[in-house]
Amino acid sequence: MRGQRIRWVQLRVGIVVVVALALLALGIFLIGETGVVYGARYRLLTFMPSANGLVQGASVRLGGQDVGKVANIDFVPFAERRQPEDVLRITMAVDRNVKEQIRSDSEARLFTQGLLGDKVVDIRPGTTAGRVLEEGETVPSARPVDVEEVLRSVSDALGNAVVLLSDFREIADGLVRGEGTAGRLLSDDSLYVSMVGASRALSEFLDGLSEGSLGALARDSVLYEELRSAVSALDTLTQGVLAGRGTLGRLISSDTLYHRLVATSTRADSVLRRLEKGEGTAGMLLTDQDLYENLNKLVVDLQAVVAEFRAKPRKYIPPVKLF
């Protein structure tokens, strides 16, 4: 009888343990089935070129809060791809209570969660400018960040930085050894000695100037007053010119001279064109070759006559008889 009672107690304990484990399993299942606990679910789609690290059952977040899970991940047949990037179709089961937040201008992207690198789908809430997405519609996706590509870029940048630091190290070592102009400036004290000498010479030169004529001019207030008076006179003259007083002022302020110069230039241009065309005596002298040659011949003959007259004046002076 005692043994039978013990077996019944053990049986009840076993039943309680089994029920507890079943309830625990059911609780875990319900917690995993987001939407059953918090409400009914509806399905949304998103397309991505890659979903590295994302698995079925991963969390779906909206504004950082868990609102569902990834129900399915499958490849899109080539014939059904609307865009070349639509390689994977991700089906998400989302709580209907947040339906109002997911709109046509929302954006889905992959997000790394925690130190273990678990991937989740994070949806950016939409705005009033977009419409609410219904069952089976597509949430636009953002291009996922390729961690390997980022690491590769960082590695390249670090490599370049190492090379740059190595180059700087070589330059610094060369400067320490006194190589090049900069190295000699750092290691050779000749420049310092020369600069000290130049500074001393400049100081002596300035001392000499202060004692000479230039120093007297610098200390004499008469020169300052004279310069001030000259500047004042120049300012008065400039104001008078700008006001149009005097000949220079009228030349600057009046446009009469300008118009006259324009008219004179126009007439001169007209005369030059007439000369180029050979009009008038001067024009013919410039353009008529025959006239030039005749004039040249006339000058030559005239020179010959003058020369002969000088040589034999009596030939050209008739004898004068008074009776």
**Are 233 and 278 in a shared domain?**
no
Q: How many domains does the chain have?
A: 5
Contact of 147 with 119, CB cutoff 8 Å:
no
Question: Does the pLDDT value for residue 35 go beyond 50?
Answer: no
* Cα–Cα dist 240/248, whole Å: 9
Give pLDDT tens digits for 8-23: 666 777 787 888 888 8
Give pLDDT tens digits for 291-307: 777 777 888 888 887 78
Domain containing 282 equals 255-317
Q: What is the pLDDT of residue 105?
A: 93
The string over 271-310, giving b where at least 16 C-beta atoms fall within 10 Å of a residue's C-beta and e elsewhere, is eeeebeeeeeeebeeeeeeeeeeeeeeeeeeeeeeeeeee
Going 66 to 72 to 75 to 81, the CA torsion angle's sign is negative
Is residue 92 assigned to a domain? yes
**Phi, then psi, of 113 in degrees rounded to 5:** -115, 125
Question: Does the pLDDT value for residue 269 go beyond 90?
Answer: no
Mean pLDDT of the residues in the chain: 78
Give pLDDT tens digits for 79-120: 888 888 888 899 999 999 999 999 999 999 988 876 667 889
H/E stretch holding 124 reads strand 118-124
**Are 58 and 142 in a shared domain?**
yes
Is residue 170 assigned to a domain? yes
Is residue 215 assigned to a domain? no
> Confidence band (pLDDT; 50, 70, 90) for 209?
low
Q: What is the pLDDT of residue 125?
A: 92
Q: Please state the rounded mean pLDDT for residues 45-69.
A: 89
